[in-house]
Copies of this chain bind each other. A is one copy, B any other.
Amino acid sequence: MNKLEKYLPAMAWIKEYSTDKLQADAMASFIATILLIPQSMGYALLAGLPAVVGLYAGIIPSILYSLFGTSRTLAVGPVAITSMMTATILAPFAIAGSQHYVAIAIMLAFLSGVFLILMSLLKMGFLSNLLSHPVISGFISASAILIAVGQFKHLIGVQAQGNNLIELGKSMILHINDINLPTVILSIISIFSLLLFKRHLTPMLSKLGLSESTSNMLGKSGPVIVVITTTSCVGAFSLDSLGIKIVGDINNHLPIIPVEYFTLDNMIDLLPGAFLISIVGFVGSVSVAQSFAAKRKQNINPNQELVGLGLANLGAAFSGSFPVTGGFSRSVVNVSAGATTPMAGILTGLLMLFTLLFLTPLFYYLPTAVLASCIITSILQLIDFKEFTRLYHFSKQEAVGLLATFFVVLFISMETGIIVGVSLSLLFFLWHTSHPHIAVVGRLPGTEHFRNVKRFDVETTPSVITVRIDENLFFANARVLEDYVLTLVSQHNDIKHLILMCNAVNMIDASALASLEAIDDRLKSAGVTLHFSEIKGPVMDKLTGSSLIKNLSGQVFLTQHQATKSLTTK
């Protein structure tokens, strides 16, 4: 891999590019664009932005990711979860849909891009690991419910706003009298057709004799069919005069935002939100990219993904749109339409630009209730209650973490939910490591194996006690070992030597070092000698030269067998 390829991963596929591949990519991007248009507009509305912003978000970001990302198949653009997060992050700053709101959305995308690139430069991608599986699971299920409930207002044609179920509910009840019957009827028809298509279109098409891949691909075109049909009907019969809200005039020029909206104060206030949306977007995107890459024995580089997604977000900011990331459903569309390289992403971006420039009048009569129906039917599959039962059987503690995240997101806010979830994960992990498995061990007669005295019939000597600790030694459990050893020694009067068997210790930090020194000191004053056995290479490297080893009352033995042999024969 040469240097250019390192910074511009696209070089890897560009130099092997061929007309065959171009044909496949062109076809895939054509199909993907058609399917993505209503989705992108819907997500923009979900984020509280004009529908057209969703189209912007599908142009530059998609092209930049294709050049700088490492996945061959990931499609980048607006995604349900981050769009919803955008809405909740922006809510305190400006009125949804206003120019000021658009300005803040641009700043959010910009900051998100900066964060992602900074994380790459500082090798801080590991921060995304803080989002444990249960937290992500609870977060996504709750967000999906929030999104669905939030979209419900479009289905019945009322105004409603809120960052959690309670606020949304109150707000909808307040406007309950504005329900528009034609909108409700249209929504019911849309949702019904969408669900019908989703379940039956693919099997129907393959019954009609189409090949499996073609039916699979066309089977996803339900939303397109519904969008075209409803838009035509509304246009033909001027149904908008009945109160059905339509997308209307789309201004396809880049928005002109007054400079004074971009203030440093707003930027600082946006930082926490931008950080969260970056992390959540990155985690989602990488797991999608990984699952597609593995199927093809390809390989993605998480650190370069930070760069790719970061540039995509900067691109989003400079083309006047909102945070983007790699999405599962758009990537599925891309792959099943036959994309072979990221060229498909570049072409999708260009086709989206073409749409924006020349085809927006076609969306004039597109009803927002239909866009909301598309979002709701696609978002509901993200809700996963089975995960909870599964988790409950594996670890009740982690199941509590999932539930806490879920309910806090639903009833307080998405950001608080993540913070609570991450804090609980950390707490549970610390709880676990601060209650390590510690055992007194003895020798299995006639072998060199040492086992827990409580589980095996082993040989021990009253004057030599061996303690095995099955955990890394660090601040969370340093004092626990101290307590354990000192209690043990206070209970055994004949003890002369204490051996700490460290075969399961992968790290020792300064707190543990201080504790071990304290143990050595305190044992010394109680007339007991401290020894170590089976310290791993990397751990020993770190300990060599430390005052613990320099002042150790006893010895460091390579193996436990050597240790007992040498100490019991003394």
Contacts and interface: CB of A to CB of B under 8 A. Distances in A.
Interface stretch (A218-226, A243-251, A510-518): A510-518
Interface in A347-400: 390-391, 393-395, 398
Interface stretch (A9-17, A41-49, A422-430): A422-430
A452 to B, nearest CB: 9
Given A394-B513, A489-B297, A129 B434 contact: yes
A40 B212 CA distance: 85
Contacts of A504: 504, 506, 536
B509 A132 contact: yes
A329 interface: no
A133 B514 contact: yes
Contacts of A433: 472, 507
B429 A130 contact: no
A510 to B, nearest CB: 5
A175 interface: no
A463 to B, nearest CB: 15
Interface in A395-442: 395, 398, 425-426, 429-437
A460 interface: no
A479 B291 CA distance: 12
A497 B480 CA distance: 40
Interface stretch (A112-120, A150-158, A539-547, A561-569): A539-547
B425 A475 contact: yes
A390 B513 CA distance: 11
A295 interface: yes
B291 A522 contact: yes
Main secondary structure of the interface of A (DSSP, over half): helix
Nearest to A131: B475
A214 interface: no
A511 B431 contact: no
A126 B391 contact: no
B299 A486 contact: yes
Contact of A130 (B132, B134, B476, B546): B476
A479 B136 CA distance: 13
Contacts of A126: 430-431, 434-435, 476, 480
A240 interface: no
Contacts of A475: 129-133, 425, 429
A168 to B, nearest CB: 28
A437 B300 CA distance: 20
Cβ-closest 3 pairs across A and B: A294-B522, A132-B475, A133-B511
Given A133-B510, A394-B542, 9 more contacts: A130-B430, A132-B478, A132-B511, A133-B514, A395-B542, A437-B506, A472-B472, A504-B506, A504-B536
28 contacts: A126-B431, A126-B435, A129-B480, A130-B430, A132-B474, A132-B478, A133-B475, A133-B510, A133-B511, A133-B515, A287-B479, A287-B518, A291-B522, A293-B486, A293-B490, A294-B521, A294-B523, A295-B522, A298-B490, A299-B487, A299-B490, A302-B479, A393-B545, A398-B509, A398-B510, A432-B507, A433-B472, A471-B506
